[in-house]
Structure 1
């Protein structure tokens, strides 16, 4: 009976140690004040973004994804600092992204002059 109890406890502990969810990350993004032309599967416009807390003007990267909850409220002319949830997609479509982005909050919105 003692062995059985120890085995049950070990199984419970192993389950808790494996339960961390590495498929969701919280990140800080900067989104530049205007979208730029880009080509993925088709020609469209993309955000220019940087990950992290500070901005380096030479490090903008094209962002081909959308940001759920942000796309609808984005205003050109403003630079945004966002907190986003980055979610890994299990079994993504072949022609789609393996990541999904959701807005958590707008940390800062400043007029880019």
Structure 2
């Protein structure tokens, strides 16, 4: 899966509940042009710099495979590759 990561972070909103949390997540746009906030992208924390837009390749893994819940979107996201990084 390819995601475009915005140059800023925003507060994570619990899907279906509309509850804004105090957790800053990554603002991403997916391949179908849908924008949302992901709480965690494992392996991306050390790569991310505010003020830069990234295009990254991630693996999305369904949470119902024995791992603890991290966000309410139903998936864990793992960084596979940084495809581009651009200052905005």
Fold match by TM threshold 0.5: yes
What secondary structure is seen at the aligned counterpart in 1 of 2:11? Answer: strand
Q: Using CA pairs below 8 Å that are at least 6 residues apart, which structure has the higher relative contact order?
A: 2
Matches within 5 A, 1:80-99: 80-90=54-64, 96-97=71-72, 98-99=74-75
CA displacement, residues 64-88 of structure 1 (integer Å, 9 cap, x when unaligned): 3310100122100000000000011
What secondary structure is seen at the aligned counterpart in 2 of 1:67? Answer: coil
Which of the two has greater helix per residue?
A: 1
1:63 — aligned with what? 37
- List alignment gaps of at least 5 residues for structure 2: none
Output the CA distance in 1 between the equivalents of 2:31 and 2:23: 25
Output the CA distance in 1 between the equivalents of 2:54 and 2:27: 11
Let me know the Cα RMSD of the aligned residues.
2.6
Q: Provide the aligned length of Structure 1 versus Structure 2.
A: 81
- List alignment gaps of at least 5 residues for structure 1: 1-26
Output the CA distance in 2 between the equivalents of 1:47 and 1:96: 12
Which of the two has greater strand per residue?
A: 2
CA displacement, residues 13-43 of structure 1 (integer Å, 9 cap, x when unaligned): xxxxxxxxxxxxxx00000001123444731
**Structure exhibiting the larger radius of gyration computed from Cα positions:** 1
